[in-house]
Amino acid sequence: MDSESQLVERTGRAIPSSKGRRGLANLRLGIGDDAAVLVPTGRAEWVLSCDAFLEGVHFLEKVHPPDSVGYKALVRAASDLVAMGATPRLFLLTLALPSRLTGDWLDSFLRGMGRAARLLDMRLAGGDTTRSQSVFINVTVLGEASLGQAVARSGAQPGDIIYVSGKLGGAQLGLELIINRGTRGPGLSRLLRPHLYPSIRTKLGEWLGRHGVPSAMMDISDGLSTDLDRLCRASHAGARLWAARIPRVSIPDLISRQRKRLNLDPLKLALHGGEDYELLFTVSHRKVKRLRHAPGFRELTPIGEITSRRGMILIGEDGRSETLEPAGWDPFRKKS
Amino acid sequence: MDSESQLVERTGRAIPSSKGRRGLANLRLGIGDDAAVLVPTGRAEWVLSCDAFLEGVHFLEKVHPPDSVGYKALVRAASDLVAMGATPRLFLLTLALPSRLTGDWLDSFLRGMGRAARLLDMRLAGGDTTRSQSVFINVTVLGEASLGQAVARSGAQPGDIIYVSGKLGGAQLGLELIINRGTRGPGLSRLLRPHLYPSIRTKLGEWLGRHGVPSAMMDISDGLSTDLDRLCRASHAGARLWAARIPRVSIPDLISRQRKRLNLDPLKLALHGGEDYELLFTVSHRKVKRLRHAPGFRELTPIGEITSRRGMILIGEDGRSETLEPAGWDPFRKKS
């Protein structure tokens, strides 16, 4: 047996991948063939997305535990489905890695990805493996939604209320800490969790899609300022945000001494920090009261409103308005 | 606008990506959102696959023209759908590249990919772009087939005849030439074409699937010896091949002087050379005569038969049998 085939077998053992009926579709053929074969069995729409995760760009081999790399590669891809109001179902894994990492590193990576697959109730349907100089991962995800349920980012209307789920900035705080302090230290593991093992709002996303509540929705992967700008541009609109309302990570005492050195301003982390994978969505006044029935309603915060005037305005805690520029993560803003 | 969004716009302009009804599925949302949304509109099965294409592994930036890289990245991915008997429809592009290649190189890359998309009548439905140290491409492809039409590689039965389409070894010959002689020279461009701009057997694959002729099918991407071994293992069977019957590339006079130096043995090129993207399939005796109606029937060659005994046997032109080991392309057999 060639060694690529052995890798495929190891992957299939570590990650849920059996065939059979599943949700609204039947997986007739899974990993190991040229392609996966799916048979739609109901009236549904299918949501398809892919997400790259690269050593040196999105994670560092020397810093990030391999099980976190595997876990996060799947969760961040699935987040794009949840952000459409869809239910994640299947994924394909493209994995390019140096031969030296095909032992323990790969086992740990697959364990992390298997854990994420079980948490999200997703199944591996195929993929591609090859060698490379550094680790390159691409995850393609397929989800299902009822017909007409998937929510685009382009439907926001002036006057709609802008909501976010959870608190923002926690993943960026974790990144700053792991780079400056490593993975060991008292109280550190809780603070690193949003960066290493992020949760996504599967139930909330499905509920919002099923009940047709949001006029537009996306996930916050590159930072609120950058992602809200994208939502506004897609909707041909602008936004006004109240700084005081933006739910943000709290920085505990144990690291507040380092706060200055690390540039840990909670509002800046919340505005521009990436990888929170919280949901950002807009709701018309008419539909706001329906939100009360949403799973995790208490973790939803209205942070501003959509305006017909383009651009984003941030109203500071002192009442003064300033222009908010997208300053989150943009891979091409940095030099490579 | 952030520069990642600008890249997405440029990609959408260069490659067919409009929305609308298409084949059996409706593309309700295309590139630019978190995910693409597809609405299946008939009784079909969907075939899904992904394929990595990496600088330094699958192509060399200094050797391969960028339009060939773009062209081939899509064609080789679509080949997996054709090998299932499906019709290619949509694709997602993950593109990671150094900032220095986001100018002319990228324009040429996108032109090549756009040309392949038009040839294959495929549409770009989404993707992901990021920076990286070297070029990494992943193409996810989605195709459609009638219900039950998709052909696995696992159905070959002892006694089935093994067929290949076209001649084998041409892509490998092109690779040897481009590495040793570059892209310029008299008569060279015709010889390089199978390596730089491979064709795939879209019509033949669809026909075979629609008429339920093959018991097993796959494409030859890593070399006949390696891919036939995979088909046999998946089918719990073996194979016997006649060397004299294997259709192979002819090596023209202009390079036959170099044949020895380059190790250009036509049979070896045909047995172990990769990237021909010809179809390899098995047909029961009962169904062989139906093949006469296949598009491109004259380019089909029976090269051997499936055996119940595992392993592969090659009967040489001198009548002697030898064991055939898989010796095609395996990314993990080489050191990285």
Q: Which residues of B are less than 8 Å from A126 in CB distance?
A: 48-50
Facing A3 at nearest CB: one of B48, B126, B330: B330
Q: Tens digit of pLDDT for each residue in A169-185?
A: 999 999 988 888 777 77
Q: Which residues of B are less than 8 Å from A48 in CB distance?
A: 35-38, 90, 92, 125-126, 140, 142
From CA A311, how far away is CA A323, in angstroms rounded? 8
Exposure class string for B121-147: b at 16+ Cβ within 10 A, else e:
ebbbbbbbbbbbbbbbbbbbbbbbbbe
Query: According to the model, what pLDDT value does residue B275 have?
Result: 94
Contact B315, B211 (CB under 8 A): no
Q: Where in chain A is the domain with CATH 3.90.650.10?
A: 161-324
CB contact under 8 A, B34 and A52: no
Task: Tell which phi-psi region holds residue A73, choosing left (phi > 0), alpha (psi between -120 and 50) or beta.
Answer: alpha
Q: Which residues of B are less than 8 Å from A142 in CB distance?
A: 48
Query: According to the model, what pLDDT value does residue A332 have?
Result: 66
Percent of chain B with pLDDT over 70: 90
- Give the residue from chain A lying closest to B3, CA to CA: A332
Q: Which residues of B are less than 8 Å from A125 in CB distance?
A: 48
Mind telling me how many Å the CA of B52 is from chain A's nearest CA? Answer: 7
Q: What is the CATH number of domain A161-324?
A: 3.90.650.10
Q: Which residues of B are less than 8 Å from A53 in CB distance?
A: none
CB contact under 8 A, B57 and A125: no
pLDDT value at A335 more than 50? no
Query: According to the model, what pLDDT value does residue B248 have?
Result: 96
CB contact under 8 A, A92 and B140: yes
- What average pLDDT does the structure give for chain A? 89
From CA B130, how far away is CA A274, in angstroms rounded? 15
Give whole-number Cα distances, A141 to A268, B59, B252, B266, in Å: 31, 27, 46, 42
Average pLDDT estimate for A284-305:
97
- Give the residue from chain A lying closest to B56, CA to CA: A132
- Give the residue from chain B lying closest to A57, CA to CA: B132
Query: According to the model, what pLDDT value does residue B187 have?
Result: 78
Query: According to the model, what pLDDT value does residue A165 have?
Result: 98
Q: Tens digit of pLDDT for each residue in A267-279?
A: 999 999 999 999 9
Query: According to the model, what pLDDT value does residue A24 have?
Result: 47
Helix, strand and coil content of chain B, in percent to the nearest 5, comes to: 35, 30, 35
Query: According to the model, what pLDDT value does residue A254 have?
Result: 66
Spatial neighbors of B250 by CB under 8 A, at least 6 apart, are B167, B266
pLDDT value at B52 more than 80? yes
From CA A38, how far away is CA A29, in angstroms rounded? 7
Q: Which residues of B are less than 8 Å from A44 in CB distance?
A: 40
Q: How confident is the model at residue B255 (pLDDT cuts 50, 70, 90)?
A: low
The one-letter amino acid code at A92 reads L
- Give the residue from chain A lying closest to B279, CA to CA: A34
Q: Which residues pair with B95 in a beta bridge?
A: B129, B137
Sign for the CA dihedral angle at B285, B289, B290, B295 comes to positive
ipTM of the complex: 0.89
Size of the A and B interface in Cβ pairs below 8 Å: 258
Neighbours of A183 (CB within 10 A): 14
Query: According to the model, what pLDDT value does residue B329 have?
Result: 81
Average pLDDT estimate for B311-334:
88
Query: According to the model, what pLDDT value does residue A25 have?
Result: 58
Query: According to the model, what pLDDT value does residue A295 have?
Result: 96
pLDDT value at B262 more than 80? no
pLDDT value at B23 more than 70? no
Q: What is the CATH number of domain B161-323?
A: 3.90.650.10
Query: According to the model, what pLDDT value does residue A221 have?
Result: 94
Q: Which residues of A are less than 8 Å from B46 in CB distance?
A: 37-40, 46
Query: According to the model, what pLDDT value does residue A189 have?
Result: 87
CB contact under 8 A, B47 and A28: no
Average pLDDT estimate for A223-238:
96
Query: According to the model, what pLDDT value does residue B8 have?
Result: 78
Query: According to the model, what pLDDT value does residue B336 have?
Result: 31
B3-146 CATH fold: 60s Ribosomal Protein L30; Chain: A; (3.30.1330)
Q: Tens digit of pLDDT for each residue in A39-97?
A: 776 778 889 999 999 999 999 999 999 999 999 999 999 999 999 999 999 999 999 99
Q: Where in chain A is the domain with CATH 3.30.1330.10?
A: 3-146
Query: According to the model, what pLDDT value does residue B170 have?
Result: 95
Query: According to the model, what pLDDT value does residue A19 have?
Result: 54
pLDDT value at A194 more than 50? yes
Q: Which residues of A are less than 8 Å from B143 in CB distance?
A: 35
Q: How confident is the model at residue A259 (pLDDT cuts 50, 70, 90)?
A: low
CB contact under 8 A, B125 and A48: yes
Average pLDDT estimate for B10-17:
83
Average pLDDT estimate for B4-13:
80
The end-to-end CA distance of chain B, in Å, is 39
Q: Tens digit of pLDDT for each residue in A312-325?
A: 999 999 999 999 99
CB contact under 8 A, B38 and A44: no
Q: How confident is the model at residue A336 (pLDDT cuts 50, 70, 90)?
A: very low
Mind telling me how many Å the CA of A159 is from chain B's nearest CA? Answer: 22
Q: Tens digit of pLDDT for each residue in B62-111?
A: 999 999 999 999 999 999 999 999 999 999 999 999 999 999 999 999 99
Q: Tens digit of pLDDT for each residue in B182-199?
A: 777 777 888 999 999 999
- Give the residue from chain B lying closest to A227, CA to CA: B2
Q: Which residue has the higher pLDDT, B149 or A300?
A: A300
Q: Which residue has the higher pLDDT, B299 or A20?
A: B299
Percent of chain B with pLDDT over 90: 69
Which of A140, A141, A222, A225 best probes binding to B when mutated, by most B CB atoms within 10 angstroms?
A140
Query: According to the model, what pLDDT value does residue A66 have?
Result: 97
pLDDT value at A263 more than 80? no
What's the alpha-carbon Rg for chain B, to the nearest Å? Answer: 20
